[in-house]
Amino acid sequence: MRKIVYAGSTFYTGDALAEALMDYARALARHGIADTVFVPGRTMQGETDKVELLVGPASQIVSEPVELVGVEIEDEELVARLREMTAQLAPRKPAAEVADGSTEERDNRPFDDML
């Protein structure tokens, strides 16, 4: 379980949810954009509810491990959705082309033809 501190409020959520949320917030900040996310969490009073978070470049979110009595809060669908949105914001890696413009794969000895 993780304790999330955000905008002066605290709630508790599952490890996978917290990790996906932090990764998504980092990706949003990298692009200078924001999004609203509803995360299932347990309040300080022990009530379970959806917590609305506006995450983006100015977000100051703290996630720290805690040991609480009770069931781990999980939402596999939300975790998958957050991971997918994070992946969509990931920097694209350019693919290298062979100098002659072909798409043939070369072996692992790139300088052999220079000898």
pLDDT tens by residue, 8-53: 899 999 999 999 999 999 999 999 999 999 999 998 888 999 999 9
* 72: pLDDT strictly greater than 50: yes
Average pLDDT of the chain?
A: 87
C-alpha span between 54 and 69 (Å, rounded): 28
Coil, strand or helix at 102: coil
* Distances in whole angstroms, Cα of residue 23 to Cα of each of 12, 26, 89: 17, 5, 11
Q: What is the mean pLDDT of residues 43-68?
A: 92
Structure tokens given for 40: 């299932």
Produce one character per residue of 23-57: b if its CB has 16 or more CB atoms within 10 Å, e if not.
Answer: bbbebbbeeeeeeebebbbbeeeeeeeebebebee
* 81: pLDDT strictly greater than 60: yes
Cβ atoms of 104 and 38 within 8 Å: the answer is no
Structure tokens given for 89: 């914001």
> Which residue did the predictor score with more confidence, 72 or 99?
72
Q: What is the pLDDT of residue 100?
A: 65
pTM of the model: 0.77
With a pLDDT cut of 90, the percent of the chain lying above it is 65
Cβ atoms of 35 and 51 within 8 Å: the answer is no
Q: What is the pLDDT of residue 10?
A: 94
